[in-house]
Amino acid sequence: MTRVILKPGRERSVARRHPWILSGAVAEGDAACGETVEVVSSAGAPLGYGSFSPQSQIRVRLLSFDPAVVPDAAFIADKVAAAIARRADFFVRGETNAFRLVNAESDGLSGVVVDSYAGHLVCQFTSAGAEQWKEAVVAALQKFAPDCRGVSERCDNKSRAREGLPTDVPFRHLAGAEPPELIEIFEGEVAFLVDVRKGHKTGFYLDQREARRLVGALANGADVLNCFSYTGGFGLFARAAGAASVTQVDVSADALALARKNEALAHLCGTKMDYVEADVFQYLRACRDAGRTFDLIVLDPPKFAEFKSQVMRAARGYKDINLLAMKLLRPNGILATFSCSGAMTGELFDKILAEAAADARRDFQMIARTRQGADHPVALGFPEGLYLKGVILRAL
């Protein structure tokens, strides 16, 4: 087996159980795409085994931190089974039938993401190693996921491209039953249709489940502006809680079309629903110019920063929309604002919000913080895993 020798001192992150070996940490060692390699310190001490990614900045993704355990199909199956077992609560409680079964690094399977939509499992294999272990993962999912109806995969993500993996076919059915065109799922009392072939990520933003519940519950009687609505998530929770009106704004016509279908899944109610296909940056300005105000505004934008180098530009974008939204809030109004940029730290996000509030000349209280749900856990040794940050503010 190929050995990858680290530069002096670079074994420290491995000792803290960080699964990434960056290209700059490697002194010696070259292997094929996805090949399993042995990682040793500069002094030759064995550290563990991982998968080699010749094209990526993340050169090795460690799977085994035990020099005595070489990853094989059974090792991968154990990791999959353990990740599923840790979600037993989700299966038992039945509050939702859509949740993440495997959360990559934080479940010990770097590059492997698996989401279940009513038993239709949708995977993303985002690294060379993950691609290599695909068959073992799929077999284990069929064996261990209690309600597995079928397994498919989404290939159209940027990390695959960075690893030199094909992204031309966006969706592949891999095993079991093919998923229907739209899968109906529920989160508590709210139902959604999910398009696992063409929707974002694997089809739905499962990571915002808890925030949707929390923010929705604040919406009784409110006029709600749901910016970056995608298929309506926060807005439909607000509607279920008795909002007076909900305006769903997204730049994607397809997302809004599905949002309307999602509205039709629920009982008729008194909430006035509006759908606006627009750029949020422009729409917020139009609201300002028209003197419109709201009781609750949700800002859940896409990733503005993927890498540290993009953080400053991203900060300007976050400040812009938050400042605009802060000015549109009625007294005691609520701003639920999120950042899903892993490169943006929680501290920096707080600072941007404080600056926006100062520029808006308004005082705010923080009433809650949110993060990705428990099915998207964060391994303590892998702080990068905490990408989704939410702050709920009340305007004074």
The residues annotated with a catalytic role in the active site are: 340
Q: Which residues, numbered 193-232, are part of the site for ligand SAH (CB under 6 A)?
A: 205, 208, 212, 228, 230-231
Check residue 280 for interaction with ligand SAH (CB under 6 A): yes
Q: Which residues, numbered 93-152, are part of the site for ligand SAH (CB under 6 A)?
A: none
Q: Which helix (H) or strand (E) holds 62?
A: strand 58-64
Check residue 167 for interaction with ligand SAH (CB under 6 A): no
CA distance 390 to 368: 8
Residue 281 CB, nearest approach to ligand SAH (Å): 6
Check residue 20 for interaction with ligand SAH (CB under 6 A): no
Of all residues in the shown chain, the one whose CB is closest to ligand SAH is: 233
Segment contacting ligand SAH (CB under 6 A): 59-67, 78-86, 136-144, 300-308? Answer: 300-308
Q: Which helix (H) or strand (E) holds 60?
A: strand 58-64
Residue 85 CB, nearest approach to ligand SAH (Å): 28
Check residue 302 for interaction with ligand SAH (CB under 6 A): yes
Residue 25 CB, nearest approach to ligand SAH (Å): 34
Residue 303 CB, nearest approach to ligand SAH (Å): 9
Q: Which residues, numbered 233-272, are part of the site for ligand SAH (CB under 6 A)?
A: 233-234, 250-252, 255
> Which residue type, as a one-letter code, is found at position 122?
V
Helices (H), 43-146: 73-86, 88-93, 128-132, 134-144
Which one of 279, 308, 366, 396 is in contact with ligand SAH (CB under 6 A)? 279
CA distance 150 to 170: 17
Degrees to nearest 5, angle at CA 180 with 194 and 263: 35
Segment contacting ligand SAH (CB under 6 A): 55-63, 144-152, 240-248, 297-305? Answer: 297-305
Phi-psi region of 291 (alpha: psi -120 to 50; beta: other; left: phi over 0): left
Q: Which is nearer to ligand SAH, 139 or 251 (CB)?
A: 251
Q: Name the DSSP letter for residue 96.
A: B
Segment contacting ligand SAH (CB under 6 A): 26-34, 67-75, 295-303, 355-363? Answer: 295-303
Q: Which is nearer to ligand SAH, 56 or 159 (CB)?
A: 159
Residue 195 CB, nearest approach to ligand SAH (Å): 12
Contacts with ligand SAH by CB under 6 A: the residue count is: 18
Q: Which is nearer to ligand SAH, 239 or 362 (CB)?
A: 239
Contacts of 136 (CB under 8 A, 6+ apart): 73, 76, 77
On whether the CB atoms of residues 83 and 105 are closer than 8 A, the answer is no
Residue 33 CB, nearest approach to ligand SAH (Å): 31
Which one of 300, 305, 379, 389 is in contact with ligand SAH (CB under 6 A)? 300
Q: Which is nearer to ligand SAH, 125 or 234 (CB)?
A: 234
Q: Which is nearer to ligand SAH, 138 or 190 (CB)?
A: 190
Residue 381 CB, nearest approach to ligand SAH (Å): 28
Q: Which is nearer to ligand SAH, 74 or 264 (CB)?
A: 264
Q: Which is nearer to ligand SAH, 96 or 231 (CB)?
A: 231
Check residue 188 for interaction with ligand SAH (CB under 6 A): no
Positions that interact with ligand SAH (CB under 6 A): 205, 208, 212, 228, 230-231, 233-234, 250-252, 255, 279-281, 300-302
